[in-house]
Amino acid sequence: MLIFARFFSLQVIGGGGLRYRALDQWTREVPVVAARGKIADRNGTVLADNRTAYSVFVRPNAVKDARRTAAVLSAVLGQDEAELYERIASARVSEITAARHADASVADELEKHDLPGVYYAQDDVRVYPYGEMLSRVIGFTSTDNAGLTGLEKYYDKYLSGIDGEIAYFADLVGAEVGGGASYLPATDGLELKLTVDHGIQAVAEAAMLSVCEQYSPVTAQCIVLDPKNFDILAMAEAPSYDLNDVPRDDREQLNALSRNNLVSDIYEPGSTFKIVTAAANIEEYHKGNANAFSPQHVFGSGRTRTVDGTTVRCWSDHKNGKHANQTLAEALNNSCNPCFTDIALALGTQTFYSYLQKFGFGKVTGVDFAGEAQGMLLAESAVRQCDLARIGFGQTVAVTAIQLACAAASAVNGGYYYRPRLALSLSSADGKVEETFSPVLVGRTVSEKTSRLLAQLLEGVVSEGSGSRAFIEGYKVAGKTGTAQKFENGSIAQGKYVSSFVGFFPSDDPQYLALIIVDEPVGAYYGSVVAAPAAREIFEGIIRIRAIEPYE
């Protein structure tokens, strides 16, 4: 009975595994590498592709003439002959890799020499036709074609595919013994189509390079969104690097250049945050909240407000009638801090925080990109009045660029907050769509009525106020400037600023929204001077690309 039990265990229960192990001993495999899926923009322009290359393997036990083999490989591969001979003749492993990512001509040449024990297999190389374009977003792969950063990593399981193999029957020392070969085909990776528009991306990157040339900042960054569904049309950052020449030997430089700061870094937004404060006030006014200010309310003209013993100041000196008798529209035009302090304090912590949560602050947006930061928002229970006052105009709160862009888009698109996305679909090489990523509505922030009024007020900021350098004749451009001091080690870093502008057009039906962030510009530092012109350059580029006619 024991013998029969053991027999049953080997033949039936463990038979499959033993047959597989036996087959593995009887055969030698040549890998068939799956082609990595391409990455393309929304219009089909290929941003990440493959170049056919080959890996060359040597099985020392199957080599008939080590010296001839070394000589031929040396001539074909351009390697040292003596070193190749040493590796082949003294190898204690069943297989050595003679070359990786060799050109197709290498395989053609080896085919002519018929070298026993030498094999080659296709091993594609990842190439990026546009070099630096979207480098911090697309990311790059390892030498084994596995995604390491960016979208290459985030969607790696779809892009990588499944390798196959060709199995040859071999003897004890690895020499082929005939009997044919079995072929397991590779399953190529899926192709990823992005929401990004190649043309708009090119315009955005050119604008950021221009900012860098003019103001020599640490970085110049830009996001362009479709406010109707939060499709990311462009993500640009300078300085950048060439994806075809990744600085792999300098880890510190590589980490800095490959980091997508628009998603992973946080900063104090400054006056661009006033869009959210204004939206909350207008919505509460429309709801009948007696603490909210009407659009016609005239704010006090004082330059300062004192809260909990701390003083809030306006950037302007308020002399000679500056910032006197301002309505909400004028407070936005002039970017007057005390007015937004008044709004935040009047709404109160509970009400104001309910809007901050609706607008997605203090949590990730859910964008399909690894390493997203959630920003920094004081716990509601810990907020003092002086904190609330400063949050009202964009201090004592830290956000990511993607958070702020989404919040602004929601404030002016009718109050709809979507999950931002970079991917549209995944398709097989023959064009069959395997998966589609549809827009996801997360929630509502404000009403259509509030959104329309706010957009009108922000159009005034560009046509009459601090955002005038973003004005384009014949087009309804709206937006808000921002200039924030930087903090280092818990205190203000003297002379260091973050200049920004968030704008959109047309104001009565937003189709495009751009957020520009310039970190530590040299010389001029106001967002109205540094960032607003870059937004105008991007919008003018979009107008050319899409052939958008001016308003009559």
Q: What is the pLDDT of residues 401-419, one digit of tens each?
A: 999 999 999 999 999 999 9
The string of pLDDT tens digits covering residues 109-149 is 888 888 888 888 778 889 999 999 999 999 999 888 899 99
Roughly how many angstroms between the first and final C-alpha of the chain, as a whole number?
97
Residue 285's pLDDT is 97
CA distance 103 to 78: 12
Give, as one character, the DSSP assignment of residue 471.
-
Phi/psi of residue 407, nearest 5 degrees: -60, -45
- Closest among 474, 453, 457, 468 to 535, alpha carbons compared: 468
What mean pLDDT is predicted for residues 483-500? 82
Helical H segments across 148-187, by residue range: 150-154, 156-159
| C-beta of residue 533 within 8 angstroms of C-beta of residue 501 | no
CA distance 166 to 32: 7
Residue 23's pLDDT is 61
Residue 539's pLDDT is 98
Q: Is residue 428 helix, strand or coil?
A: coil
Percent of the chain residues topping a pLDDT of 70: 94
Of the candidate ranges 70-84, 453-467, 531-545, the one whose mean pLDDT is the lowest: 70-84
CA distance 392 to 331: 13
| C-beta of residue 125 within 8 angstroms of C-beta of residue 144 | no
Residue spans of the domains in the chain: they are 49-60+96-127, 198-423+441-546
Tokens of 196: 């990004």
Residue 93's pLDDT is 73
SS (H, E, C) 64-101: CCHHHHHHHHHHHHCCCHHHHHHHHHCCCCCCEEEEEE
CA distance 534 to 521: 13
Q: Is residue 46 helix, strand or coil?
A: strand
| C-beta of residue 200 within 8 angstroms of C-beta of residue 224 | yes
Q: Are strands 310-313 and 416-418 parallel, antiparallel or unpaired?
A: unpaired
Residue 240's pLDDT is 92
What is 198-423+441-546's CATH superfamily? DD-peptidase/beta-lactamase superfamily (3.40.710.10)
CA distance 415 to 76: 64
Q: How far is CA 221 from CA 372, 400, 490, 534, 542, in A?
A: 16, 12, 24, 10, 17
Token pair 């201090």 is found at 395
Residue 100's pLDDT is 85
Element housing 541 (H / E): helix 532-546
CA distance 13 to 496: 71
Of the candidate ranges 29-38, 167-176, 394-403, 448-457, the one whose mean pLDDT is the lowest: 167-176
Residue 94's pLDDT is 74
Residue 370's pLDDT is 94
Residue 158's pLDDT is 96
- Closest among 118, 114, 128 to 62, alpha carbons compared: 118
Residue 27's pLDDT is 63
> Is 294 a known active-site residue?
no
- Closest among 444, 358, 39, 405 to 226, alpha carbons compared: 405
The string of pLDDT tens digits covering residues 427-468 is 998 889 999 999 999 999 999 999 999 999 999 999 999 999
What is the signed CA dihedral for 406, 410, 413, 414, rounded to 10 degrees?
170
Residue 30's pLDDT is 67
Of the candidate ranges 210-214, 270-274, 309-313, the one whose mean pLDDT is the lowest: 309-313
Residue 397's pLDDT is 95
Bridge partners (DSSP) of residue 520 are none
Token pair 């069959």 is found at 432
CA distance 96 to 473: 67
pLDDT at 184 over 90: no
Element housing 139 (H / E): none
pLDDT at 29 over 60: yes
**Degrees (nearest 5) of the Cα angle 410, 225, 527?**
85
CA distance 535 to 461: 14
Q: Which of 160, 271, 451, 499 is catalytic?
A: 271
Token pair 């351009």 is found at 78
Residue 171's pLDDT is 61
289-311 burial, b for 16+ CB within 10 Å, e for fewer?
beebbeeebebeeebebebeeee
Q: How far is CA 547 from CA 8, 58, 314, in A?
A: 76, 58, 41
Q: How confident is the model at residue 168 (pLDDT cuts 50, 70, 90)?
A: low
Residue 28's pLDDT is 65
Residue 129's pLDDT is 96
Percent of the chain residues topping a pLDDT of 90: 65
| C-beta of residue 335 within 8 angstroms of C-beta of residue 468 | no
CA distance 122 to 79: 20
The string of pLDDT tens digits covering residues 360-391 is 999 999 999 999 999 999 999 999 999 999 99
pLDDT at 507 over 70: yes
Amino acid 135 reads S
pLDDT at 214 over 60: yes
Residue 41's pLDDT is 97
CA distance 201 to 106: 37
Q: How confident is the model at residue 87 (pLDDT cuts 50, 70, 90)?
A: confident
What mean pLDDT is predicted for residues 251-263? 89
pLDDT at 179 over 70: no
CA distance 481 to 515: 10
What mean pLDDT is predicted for residues 500-513? 97
**Degrees (nearest 5) of the Cα angle 531, 536, 540?**
150
